[in-house]
Chain A
């Protein structure tokens, strides 16, 4: 009866599973993709440690493998849900095959999806090959191939456009919180490896709270240029990308050429958020993420907790702390309900 279902095998879900296992709770960890890792799989290095994402992931996989009381179901989703804490009956679907699981508590760590920058037509994503997303850039850096997709040439200049589809009532009104840091991290990585490349960040406000401010200083010291603006449009001319913008600090309207433009995109609710919310009777916030009803991670239903970016955009380190916190919450709840672990 002390068993726990963890939905989502990203960094938060893996952390929850490891902590619960260490507290003697058997864990069913289900993941919709064929591999664990979630959005971590898209990243090159994670801030603020600059560790390689694949190293971080490998560490987690190794530890999960080592625990006998963590059962992983990949290619699996929640099909049906009944009961209440500490006796939930959950049916999961693994490639058409159904498994019935009885668990005492559930942690939803379903993560986030990425905003599709093609929705901002004026930026030409999908139309111009050299307009790429921040995730495309992570992949390039991971593969060690920093080049223009159009002609495979090394770019002499790169512009990162911030807040694409965020802090925007017409798309997503909220701030996605990790994109400034992710852009700064990549700017620093590029500048360190290729000091000759001109790197520019176009921003509205740089949001680097707490200790993250250091990354902003590092970027400036390495010669990354910052222009305060939200560009109006991007078009292609003579094999270069041209950005049309107003520098809001000088009040001057300019056009600027660049070899490569990176659109900083952020987190939107993943498709299963709404589905699971409906199935389990959980409230969503008006932005479409799960709503934390009782702090720190409780939902409308006793025994069901959320963790990570499914209750609002979060970076890797914040997500894994929440994963850990969720495990502690589950342990406490099951103890309160007198359910013995193991």
Chain B
């Protein structure tokens, strides 16, 4: 699967690895150790951002390699927030009668719609993360935007998609979540599942075997930009490609096309963008530490360097991590940029001029 046997130890991966800037982590060495000693110790430093595999001349799938290593060897110490989010998933799995995530969102919905919307587990973040942002708003905004393009979605109260459990090595928790969700999606009879979360999008698309179409919110909006009719005044924004939507799923144009359909908006690109986008610093709550924070600072600094006043992302996790850094106590420094989720940004703008005038 991961093709690590292909590796001829050229070291290109390590040259690209964001972690190399803050640690001695070397994907090449990790593979070498594995091949020579069959060392099975998991790789908790890896961001699973995919930048290395993107360039690997031997097309080694480092992401699968890391995921296989992590499976079954969970390190609770490496997981942020005392692994509370995964614990919640585990509890849900233990109670067959437990419902999925709450879906009390604003906007018009239709129980009989063939298009479903799943907000993901964002409401949990609101309960546990005090970083001055409102995750619930992503759900409200997404439904509002879907309404605007003429879709009244059916709301699916699934359990967590299992993304984090899977990448943390909790294979059995993931399998149970997948079983539950797959059954519920199949029973719902929907034909399209829309997610506003890049991780849900990747997981449902690649790690589930669903017969229905899975779309990221930005993709369905892209097909209907004519109905959005959004306008702003001299708003400069930049867009961060989350690794799950970008390199994992190769969706680069959809969010950009949606943003560029907004009148009065200027899209400024990062120096390293699209396929070369740098990770926000953390994935699946693994290894959120000082090293991760250095990468977050670099990310925000380069966003500010584009001249934009708003950094837009399509993954609630990037949204969380970068806002978390901005709210660090005591403050690291004053980052003069807003970090906003695409859905929130689009639905809140209606005629209102944003920062960055």
On chain B, the residues within 8 Å of A230 by CB distance are 10-12, 15, 57
Q: Is the CB of B10 within 8 A of A253?
A: no
On chain B, the residues within 8 Å of A170 by CB distance are 55-57, 59
Q: Is the CB of A245 within 8 A of B57?
A: no
On chain A, the residues within 8 Å of B13 by CB distance are 232
- Residue B70 interfacial (CB < 8 Å): no
- Residue B201 interfacial (CB < 8 Å): no
Number of contact residues on B: which range applies?
10 to 19
Q: Is the CB of B10 within 8 A of A204?
A: yes
On chain A, the residues within 8 Å of B57 by CB distance are 163, 167-171, 230
Q: Is the CB of A229 within 8 A of B58?
A: no
Interface positions, chain A 314-342, Cβ under 8 Å from B, are none
On chain B, the residues within 8 Å of A251 by CB distance are 24, 26, 29
* In the bound complex, CA of A312 to CA of B28 (Å): 30
* In the bound complex, CA of A135 to CA of B152 (Å): 61
Q: Could you list 27 examples of A-B contacts with CB < 8 Å?
A: A122-B55, A163-B57, A169-B57, A169-B58, A170-B55, A170-B59, A204-B8, A204-B10, A230-B10, A230-B11, A230-B12, A230-B15, A231-B12, A232-B12, A232-B16, A233-B16, A244-B15, A245-B15, A246-B11, A246-B14, A246-B20, A246-B28, A248-B9, A248-B11, A251-B26, A251-B29, A253-B14
Answer whether A248 and B28 are a contact pair too, CB < 8 Å, given A204-B10, A229-B11, A230-B11.
Answer: yes
Q: Give B5 Cβ to nearest chain A Cβ, in Å.
A: 14
Answer whether A232 and B55 are a contact pair too, CB < 8 Å, given A204-B10, A245-B11, A246-B20.
Answer: yes
| Apart from A232-B16, A247-B11, 14 more pairs, CB < 8 Å | A122-B55, A167-B57, A168-B57, A204-B8, A204-B10, A230-B15, A231-B12, A232-B12, A232-B14, A233-B16, A246-B26, A253-B14, A253-B20, A253-B26
| Interface-central residue, B15, B20, B26, B56, by most chain A CB under 10 Å | B15
* In the bound complex, CA of A232 to CA of B10 (Å): 10
* In the bound complex, CA of A245 to CA of B278 (Å): 17
On chain A, the residues within 8 Å of B12 by CB distance are 230-232
On chain A, the residues within 8 Å of B58 by CB distance are 169
Q: Give B272 Cβ to nearest chain A Cβ, in Å.
A: 10
- Write out, one digit per residue, whether chain B residues 140-158 have a CB within 8 A of any chain A CB (1) or not (0): 0000000000000000000
- Write out, one digit per residue, whether chain B residues 7-40 have a CB within 8 A of any chain A CB (1) or not (0): 0111111111000100010101100000000000
* In the bound complex, CA of A168 to CA of B8 (Å): 11
Number of A-B residue pairs with CB-CB distance less than 8 Å in the complex they form = 57
On chain A, the residues within 8 Å of B8 by CB distance are 167, 204
Q: Give A256 Cβ to nearest chain B Cβ, in Å.
A: 11
B contacts, CB < 8 Å to A: 8-16, 20, 24, 26, 28-29, 55-59
Q: Give A83 Cβ to nearest chain B Cβ, in Å.
A: 44
Q: Give A28 Cβ to nearest chain B Cβ, in Å.
A: 42
On chain B, the residues within 8 Å of A247 by CB distance are 11
On chain A, the residues within 8 Å of B28 by CB distance are 246, 248
Q: Give A174 Cβ to nearest chain B Cβ, in Å.
A: 12
Q: Give B271 Cβ to nearest chain A Cβ, in Å.
A: 10
Q: Is the CB of B15 within 8 A of A169?
A: no
On chain A, the residues within 8 Å of B24 by CB distance are 251, 253
Which residue on B lies nearest to A165, using beta carbons?
B57
Q: Give A40 Cβ to nearest chain B Cβ, in Å.
A: 29
* In the bound complex, CA of A171 to CA of B56 (Å): 11
* In the bound complex, CA of A246 to CA of B58 (Å): 17
- Write out, one digit per residue, whether chain A residues 215-256 have a CB within 8 A of any chain B CB (1) or not (0): 000000000000011111100000000001111100101000
| Interface-central residue, A122, A163, A247, by most chain B CB under 10 Å | A122
- Write out, one digit per residue, whether chain A residues 138-151 have a CB within 8 A of any chain B CB (1) or not (0): 00000000000000
Q: Give B46 Cβ to nearest chain A Cβ, in Å.
A: 15
On chain B, the residues within 8 Å of A169 by CB distance are 57-59
* In the bound complex, CA of A168 to CA of B58 (Å): 6
Q: Is the CB of B15 within 8 A of A253?
A: yes
On chain A, the residues within 8 Å of B16 by CB distance are 232-233
Q: Give A119 Cβ to nearest chain B Cβ, in Å.
A: 13
On chain B, the residues within 8 Å of A229 by CB distance are 10-11, 15
On chain B, the residues within 8 Å of A163 by CB distance are 10, 57
Which residue on B lies nearest to A122, using beta carbons?
B55
* In the bound complex, CA of A169 to CA of B26 (Å): 21
Q: Give A252 Cβ to nearest chain B Cβ, in Å.
A: 8
| Interface-central residue, A229, A247, A248, by most chain B CB under 10 Å | A248
On chain B, the residues within 8 Å of A167 by CB distance are 8, 57
- Write out, one digit per residue, whether chain A residues 156-175 have a CB within 8 A of any chain B CB (1) or not (0): 00000001000111110000
Interchain residue pairs A-B with the least CB separation, the first 8: A232-B15, A246-B14, A168-B57, A246-B11, A230-B10, A248-B11, A230-B12, A232-B16
On chain A, the residues within 8 Å of B14 by CB distance are 232, 246, 253
| Interface-central residue, B12, B29, B56, B58, by most chain A CB under 10 Å | B12
Which residue on A lies nearest to B23, using beta carbons?
A253
On chain A, the residues within 8 Å of B29 by CB distance are 251
On chain B, the residues within 8 Å of A253 by CB distance are 14-15, 20, 24, 26
Q: Is the CB of B15 within 8 A of A231?
A: yes
* In the bound complex, CA of A122 to CA of B14 (Å): 14
Which residue on B lies nearest to A247, using beta carbons?
B11
* In the bound complex, CA of A322 to CA of B313 (Å): 58
On chain B, the residues within 8 Å of A233 by CB distance are 15-16
* In the bound complex, CA of A251 to CA of B56 (Å): 17
Q: Give B351 Cβ to nearest chain A Cβ, in Å.
A: 40
Q: Give A20 Cβ to nearest chain B Cβ, in Å.
A: 41
Q: Give B3 Cβ to nearest chain A Cβ, in Å.
A: 10
Which residue on B lies nearest to A231, using beta carbons?
B15
Which residue on A lies nearest to B10, using beta carbons?
A230
* In the bound complex, CA of A105 to CA of B58 (Å): 41
Which residue on B lies nearest to A166, using beta carbons?
B57
* In the bound complex, CA of A170 to CA of B6 (Å): 13
